[in-house]
Homo-oligomer: A and B are copies of this chain.
């Protein structure tokens, strides 16, 4: 991030100087992020891509541009597309549509100031850039996170015998651990968190896979709580960090069953306490996530996704994330998916929100400016570096 024409802190008042400089220049690690769309999309697909929760088209009576992320795109991305900040939605769309996807990525991504993207390369209905392309387009390094449900589904789709599933899955996990820096589970979407978290015995896994295989679908979807417990414990066994989608997501998910407090039976297991567990997004349960990050040595959390979706109001969310969790237990992420606008705006809003909140605490004498800069570096990069061994 540089000063001058594109100043991410523009408009914020009285941010102490060293803190402002740190907030502008810090090279972030975005510890949970996805690629960008490879192919051109139409306006409908674009607007749907910044409505996380709905699975329907944007209704005719409105435009999704009239939302916090829509306003943030028009404010922050428009100038990088050569148009005025706050340009009208149609003008924004025209400028965006005039660029090939890769050109758009190259225009926006470098301004995110992300030195390292930790990418969930899991399934997408629309092709997205792989780590190599992200690195080329952004100038940042990349690492990979492997999604557990996807591994299991690929095994079943490959026609594995149910009795061989458990062993084969463990082999896949061990192989993945060779190149990935962590695993991710979307159990929130599949069963919710209120399942039996006891590691299932082999026979129960086999029985569950047998039932699953009997469905005979070509695109099998893991929704069995026994198998969810199995894949999570298999991942935990590697000792690699485990990311867990928590809270806000699309409406297939029962939001209240993705409350991280329902993970207590899992988190209280001493075997699980040897592995870093990273609670992702967490909105609107970020206070509960902060509690867990204080309560368990191995638990971390972020407020990715929420920051993008709250836009101008994200400062309050950022302040709320700085409550009861120790500062060593928080990480930065954008959870951007598909649109490079999200990769960029996630970074800008987080830098602004941190500068505004910490800046006030420094001005009021509660925090020293050195501490504020240090916490910014911890959450923005240092903690992720340590947890993932980057």
- Which chain A residues have a beta carbon within 8 Å of chain B's beta carbons? 10-13, 51-54, 56-59, 61-64, 66-68, 71-72, 74-75, 85-86, 248, 250-251, 254-256, 259, 261-262, 264, 268, 273, 283-284, 287-288, 291-292, 294-297, 306, 309-313, 316-317, 319-320, 322-329, 357, 361, 363-368, 370-371, 375, 378, 386
Contacts and interface: CB of A to CB of B under 8 A. Distances in A.
A306 B295 CA distance: 14
Nearest to A11: B365
B71 A10 contact: no
Given A54-B297, A66-B328, 15 more contacts: A10-B365, A11-B363, A53-B324, A66-B326, A67-B325, A68-B323, A85-B368, A248-B291, A251-B264, A254-B264, A255-B288, A256-B261, A294-B309, A316-B319, A316-B320
B86 A371 contact: yes
B326 A53 contact: no
Contacts of A295: 53-54, 250-251
Contact of A255 (B251, B256, B291): B291
Nearest to A255: B261
A368 B66 CA distance: 12
A188 to B, nearest CB: 13
Nearest to A309: B324
Contacts of A61: 328, 386
Contact of A67 (B52, B59, B283, B326): B326
B53 A328 contact: no
A341 to B, nearest CB: 15
B51 A326 contact: yes
Please indicate which of the listed interface residues A63, A367, A378 has the most CB atoms of chain B within 10 Å of its own CB: A367
Nearest to A305: B324
Please indicate which of the listed interface residues A13, A320, A386 has the most CB atoms of chain B within 10 Å of its own CB: A320
Given A53-B291, A67-B326, A364 B12 contact: yes
Given A288-B284, A311-B366, A366-B72, A56 B259 contact: no
Given A251-B296, A319-B316, A323-B309, A71 B288 contact: no
B53 A294 contact: yes
11 contacts: A52-B324, A53-B292, A54-B296, A56-B273, A59-B297, A61-B328, A66-B378, A254-B264, A256-B262, A283-B287, A312-B366
Nearest to A325: B67
Nearest to A257: B261
B284 A310 contact: no
A325 B284 CA distance: 13
A237 B211 CA distance: 39
Contacts of A62: 326, 328-329
Nearest to A360: B312
